[in-house]
Structure 1
Amino acid sequence: MSSYGFSAKNNYGSVIITSERKVLVFSERGTLNITSRYTDRGGYGEAVFIKPIRTQEPPQVFIRHVSGLHSSLGLSATIKGGPGAWTGFSLDSASSGGNTLQNFLIEYVACKFSDTAETSGYGMNIRDASGQIAFSTKDKPVRYGKFATSWTQTLFDTYQFIFTPNVTIDDDDFICISAIDRGVNWFAQKAQFAGMNILAGGKPNMNIYCQVMTAGGDWYYDGTAGTTLGVAVCKFPESRYYN
């Protein structure tokens, strides 16, 4: 079957939606708290989706720091559930700050690929060659803002490496944490874990840090076999993206 779909153009650009590519759309937004019980241990926070995401593909979860008592926040993410029933995500955190317990407020936006047709009222459904929904006008497509696609090694010492991307983060930017869900695979056999700093010096931030484990293995942060470690950054104004 040849590709078909929808195209719209104005003086500012164009939008093309085809039957060959599913569209990433808004699913829900919410907040969670990251807290710690001890000042010398990591923190933890978990969000359960209002309704499970039924796609085979994992959801794309975006987060931003809202408030907290610390000026820095590093974290790693785990998407919960599995294909056909993604149920939420969790965040493990680290933060320097003396004798203060962690208590961060995080806003998140969960996104999925279109999977449900419009069945009433006016609108349009686009299906792929197998009859599955590729797009429905009842959905709210995600508008990508920028991508971190190039990483520079800015710290190299015995215990830790830090990689800084080619983008800056604004106060209202949401960072895609699904991009590094169990992201240690990008640092094969060289790191025990990899995490992301989303707050530094009290300001929005994005870099990746790794605990060094061995001198062997490979670094893939700068790409391999035609792929690149890419992290999407988007804005989700509440006037458009709401539950």
Structure 2
Amino acid sequence: MSFGLEFTNNNNVVTVDSEFTRLVVLAKGVYVPNQESGLGSITNFPRTITSQEPPLVFIRPSGSSGIAGLCLMRVVGTPGAWTGFYVRAYDVNTLQPNGSYFACGFAATPLADYGMRLWDGNSKLLFDSGTPYARFTRSFQNWTYLKSDHTPQGLPRNYYRVNFTFPVGEFMLINTFGMPMLDDGVQSRMLYCWWDFSGNNLYAITVGSSNPFAFFLPAVFAKL
């Protein structure tokens, strides 16, 4: 950066400057089982998120035992008017969708009544002291293939796992686990996620008519 404003932290990492937007927390709160007899959850953001691209939603399931299985995530709304998100339990044998979340985007929102705001040369708001940054903490894709079986509908189902602990304050990006994946055939395959609190495992499960064994999707985590 040749001119403007720049802040660095104690590790000499740039945290704010007048050229680039960081990952900004635009909404946060809790999600609860309020749809489909406790299997589904619709969460409304405290305010409409006005970014063109859907916000990134990070969640942290409640609980210390059992399996929280979440799937079919989607952001509710349209470009420039995102109002919330939906997520569903894997089935009746996993925990209900219940926990905390925060939603992020690469665009600040003018929320602070006082403090500091920073714009770039094109008048885009880059920083507002009322919208804190989120920090990516880790990601991994070293999944181990475990086994395959079939769903009650007869579709091939693959299981992958990784050793996993959930540090205090850490949330997982759920958008990617709501997207269908490529299959070997013309149909896509569905993707599901299990948090096994008691066994310290994180599972990814794929279901599709021609379900290949290759699986490289990263799991991404962040903190407020």
TM-score normalised per structure 1 = 0.72
* Matching of residue 143 in structure 1 with residue 135 in structure 2: yes
Residues 76-225 of structure 1 aligned to structure 2 (within 5 Å):
76=71, 77-95=73-91, 97=93, 103-117=96-110, 121-127=114-120, 129-148=121-140, 150-158=141-149, 159-165=156-162, 168-182=165-179, 184-185=180-181, 189=185, 192-197=189-194, 199-202=195-198, 205-214=201-210, 219=214, 221-222=215-216
For these two proteins, the number of residue pairs brought into alignment is: 216
Aligned CA-pair RMSD: 3.4
Q: Distance in 1 between matches of 2:221 and 2:85?
A: 18
Q: List runs of 5+ in structure 1 lacking aligned partners.
A: 223-228, 237-243
Change (3 A) 1:191 1:32: same
Q: Is the Cα contact below 8 Å between 1:175 and 1:231 reproduced in 2?
A: yes
Q: Tell me the CA shift for residue 110 of structure 1.
A: 1.8
Q: CA deviation at 1:180?
A: 2.6
Distance in 1 (CA, whole Å) between partners of 2:12 and 2:116 is 22
Counterpart-to-counterpart distance in 2, 1:143 and 1:164: 25
Tell me if the contact between 2:183 and 2:211 (Cα under 8 Å) persists in the aligned partners. Answer: no
Match of 1:232 in 2: 220
Q: Which amino acid aligns with 1:15?
A: V
Q: Write the letter of the residue equivalent to 1:135.
A: F
Change (3 A) 1:175 1:187: farther
Question: Which of 65, 72, 79 in structure 1 is aligned with 2:61?
Answer: 65
How far did 1:47 drift?
A: 0.3
Unaligned runs of 5+ in 2: 150-155
Structure 1 segments of 4+ aligned residues over 6 angstroms from their partners: 35-38
